[in-house]
């Protein structure tokens, strides 16, 4: 229920997320109209103003379009994968409409740089790499580094330990269900970079092709780093959007 979330999020943000996930799951495919403002307000026990604000955000994202006198409709899928991320939950929901293909199974290795970023006392980490696909199109290549204690919690997950394994899971989703303290936040940096030969081969582009690099360092509720994810996105197949709001004091 949108109005009963325990997190400090506005009702319209929660409602927009729920409608977005329904769209991504194909509930409103083939030109089906979304529920009206009144229907959604009654279903989720929120005001029509809340529904109107949620629709406003979904229109701004390109997820829906509105036709006066007819209603609100899901935007047909094109060649670009578009998602809006405003929370860790939004990142976990990548499993709704994308697939993960393992290219490097989970294993232990020494990596000084990753260990330093994870604030470890030794240089040993757990590592895996995977492509993420929307339909059949690869749009992202991700390398994940985990502290040893965290990596051990995933060592028996078959979706992560066999090369070529395919699933719709997310690493942070798996961790969130296994860690004593759940994932609470992530530090993120975004840069542009040319594709090296290996990355280009995995993503099906030419070496030197411009890519969007996104580094995310995830922390649990105790403030401990639990995952470092370094991802390379094809800009022609992926659009990253986020919503910035002023804080209210």
The alpha carbon of 62 is separated from its chain's Cα centroid by a whole number of angstroms, namely 17
Is 0.85 topped by the overall pTM?
no
What local confidence, expressed as pLDDT, does residue 1 receive? 44
| Interatomic CA distance for residues 157 and 106, integer angstroms | 9
Burial label for 110, CB within 10 Å (0-12, 13-18, 19+), is exposed
What local confidence, expressed as pLDDT, does residue 177 receive? 84
Cβ-based neighbours of 193, under 8 Å, separated by 6 or more: 210, 211, 213, 232
Residue linked to tokens 């919690």: 153
| Interatomic CA distance for residues 184 and 170, integer angstroms | 16
What local confidence, expressed as pLDDT, does residue 7 receive? 41
What local confidence, expressed as pLDDT, does residue 200 receive? 95
| Interatomic CA distance for residues 93 and 170, integer angstroms | 8
What local confidence, expressed as pLDDT, does residue 240 receive? 67
- Residues of the chain predicted below pLDDT 50: 1-8, 84, 87-88, 92, 95, 249
What local confidence, expressed as pLDDT, does residue 3 receive? 43
Give yes or no for a contact between 204 and 115, defined as CB atoms under 8 angstroms apart. no
């Amino acid at each position: 229920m949108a109005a009963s979330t325990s997190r400090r999020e506005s009702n319209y943000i929660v409602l927009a997320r729920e409608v977005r996930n329904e769209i991504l799951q194909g509930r409103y495919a083939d030109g089906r109209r979304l529920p009206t403002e009144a229907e959604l307000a009654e279903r989720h026990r929120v005001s029509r103003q809340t529904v109107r604000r949620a629709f406003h955000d979904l229109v701004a994202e390109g997820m829906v379009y509105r036709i006066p006198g007819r209603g609100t409709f899901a935007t047909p899928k094109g060649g670009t994968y578009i998602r809006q991320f405003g929370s860790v939950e939004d990142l976990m929901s990548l499993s709704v409409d994308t697939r993960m293909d393992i290219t490097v199974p989970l294993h232990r290795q020494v990596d000084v740089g990753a260990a330093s970023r994870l604030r470890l006392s030794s240089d040993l980490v757990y590592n895996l790499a995977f492509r993420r696909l929307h339909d059949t199109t690869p749009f992202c290549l991700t390398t994940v580094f985990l502290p040893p204690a965290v990596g051990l919690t995933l060592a028996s997950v078959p979706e992560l330990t066999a090369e070529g394994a395919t699933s719709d899971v997310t690493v942070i989703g798996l961790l969130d269900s296994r860690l004593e303290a759940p994932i609470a936040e992530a530090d993120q940096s975004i840069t542009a970079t040319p594709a090296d030969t290996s990355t280009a081969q995995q993503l099906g582009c030419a070496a030197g092709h411009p890519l969007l690099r996104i580094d995310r360092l995830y922390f649990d509720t105790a403030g401990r780093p639990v995952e470092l994810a370094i991802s390379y996105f094809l800009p022609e197949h992926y659009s990253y959007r986020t919503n910035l709001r002023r804080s209210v004091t």
